[in-house]
Structure 1
């Protein structure tokens, strides 16, 4: 008898509880690169790059950067750069169909590999990544702001950089930090070679701050930024939070068929107590937890073949 599983359903229409900001005044920038604004102190210090809108429909990050730009940042030392990444995709954002503006030609968070950036590709996202590359090459620390479609606890992704993982744990918001290998479909910004290499004072954090289009997501992004900027000495320190908890991805589950389905609804951040628990079927292949206390990282109930369905992780 075949195992019961959930029948895939159309992607639900999640409410859009945020208004997209008017970014017109910020499109030119002050660096010679559209949408990129940089603020330096007289005193030397690290260079923090904060990026939003790598995905054009993730407007929470744009709301935070708009707020920071209106406040006119004044670093105590070093430099803070704010970059509105995929402005062209963002320009297409419509609350009636909010997922359609994620990108124009391809996912901008899969193109950050040297041979891709230096190659012959001519997509809108590649052109924009090449425009942003000089400022990425100048940054010491990157905070890449993202949000999530499906229900999940907020988290920080660090790639496999030990320095980034230590930094994510130190700032404590969000409190879950996940070291992972990224995606088979291409390198994320945080995986860009200069950011991932073990150099002193360098690291890149991708914060998945909560669900798209929710005010709490903007608040988490701002809290994360304030904690990081304070720890780096760029802005006034804020009250320290308890350190985060680090988990390492032990398996990235990529759908091999068009019939991937979880056996029940799982929420990102859920921990499955027992190893060998059956959680999904990929066609006829069983997906089971590889160890006790298995953390589910951003499970996607609607997964196409070749895309990441879930990452399975173990806490230190």
Structure 2
């Protein structure tokens, strides 16, 4: 059994009422407004143990949030993994067979490989590829400040700034172990026009991670023109949010041995003042910061060979 490290403060919503939807795909629902506009899609449960996305989608439905223009689609992604969620062993429900957020390349999707996650990804692929704007809701292992990941395109960065929340924006290119949904197809095409963002809303099971997911989603719907300010106002905090800070990832540290350890119990977003500081050991090889004021982004607890251990970045105006 996986040892529980963090308290389970979030309640996993019952998503059975959303099984049949209206799209022909289980656990996917879509509403089209009378006024034309883009197709906006909000995705939850890429990982079955990340409850906040389900909390946010359930909130939108229960509070009657509907598109003013265009089409709004809500998708519960890895429902097979979510169905196994057990508060006594919460991390075990991350996936059934493999990480679903590492399969989004044509080489994998079009391959003869088979897994529970690939079957679901292939089912959802046409829907995701039809979206003009996509928000993928996630949470993190550590109690790190919430982040908005915008990929490498300038249009992704612009939309993340327009959303304005969370306060940290991270521009990065993903992982060596496989492609994320936000890096799939026209979302990452330099000449494309579709945009996908990935929100890391806080530690997986902390109480405040759910409200962060709700606020992020409402602000995303506002920034894409899907809803109006009056639709979101009752549930958004008053006052202006500070302008986000953007961190550009320059290096991704991938685990290369079976003996990777961090030098300190990093949680994420630590700023390491001096270049050359040892932050980890990978099979006896020191891992050092490449420049002054290096920011550590989402250091992982899953330190297995071939997986991302941490990303390194610097502030960008």
TM category (shorter chain) comes to: over 0.9
Match of 1:6 in 2: none
TM-score using structure 2 length = 0.93
Decide whether the 8 Å contact of 1:148 with 1:209 is kept in 2: yes
Match of 1:250 in 2: 250
**Matching residue within 208, 214, 219 for 1:222:** 214
How far apart, in 2, do the equivalents of 1:189 and 1:212 lie?
19
Decide whether the 8 Å contact of 1:53 with 1:90 is kept in 2: yes
**C-alpha distance 126-302 of structure 1, shift in aligned 2 (>3 A):** closer
Match of 1:5 in 2: none
Decide whether the 8 Å contact of 1:53 with 1:84 is kept in 2: yes
How big is the shift at 1:120?
A: 0.9
5+ residue gaps, structure 1: 1-9
**Matching residue within 102, 110, 119 for 2:102:** 110
How far apart, in 2, do the equivalents of 1:204 and 1:278 lie?
34
Decide whether the 8 Å contact of 1:60 with 1:214 is kept in 2: no
How big is the shift at 1:200?
A: 6.2
Match of 1:31 in 2: 23
Match of 1:74 in 2: 66
Match of 1:308 in 2: 308
**Matching residue within 53, 58, 61 for 1:61:** 53
**How many residues of Structure 1 are paired with residues of Structure 2 in the alignment?**
307
**C-alpha distance 83-199 of structure 1, shift in aligned 2 (>3 A):** farther
**C-alpha distance 32-301 of structure 1, shift in aligned 2 (>3 A):** closer
TM-score using structure 1 length = 0.93
Note the alpha carbon deviations across 1:84-143, whole angstroms, 9 max, x for none: 001111111111110111111110000101121111122110000011111111101110
How far apart, in 2, do the equivalents of 1:294 and 1:227 lie?
29
How far apart, in 2, do the equivalents of 1:142 and 1:17 lie?
27
How far apart, in 1, do the equivalents of 2:301 and 2:119 lie?
31
Match of 2:189 in 1: 197
How big is the shift at 1:298?
A: 0.3
- What value does the CA root-mean-square deviation take over the aligned residues? 1.5
5+ residue gaps, structure 2: 234-238
Match of 2:236 in 1: none
How far apart, in 2, do the equivalents of 1:149 and 1:99 lie?
9
How big is the shift at 1:159?
A: 1.8
Match of 1:276 in 2: 276
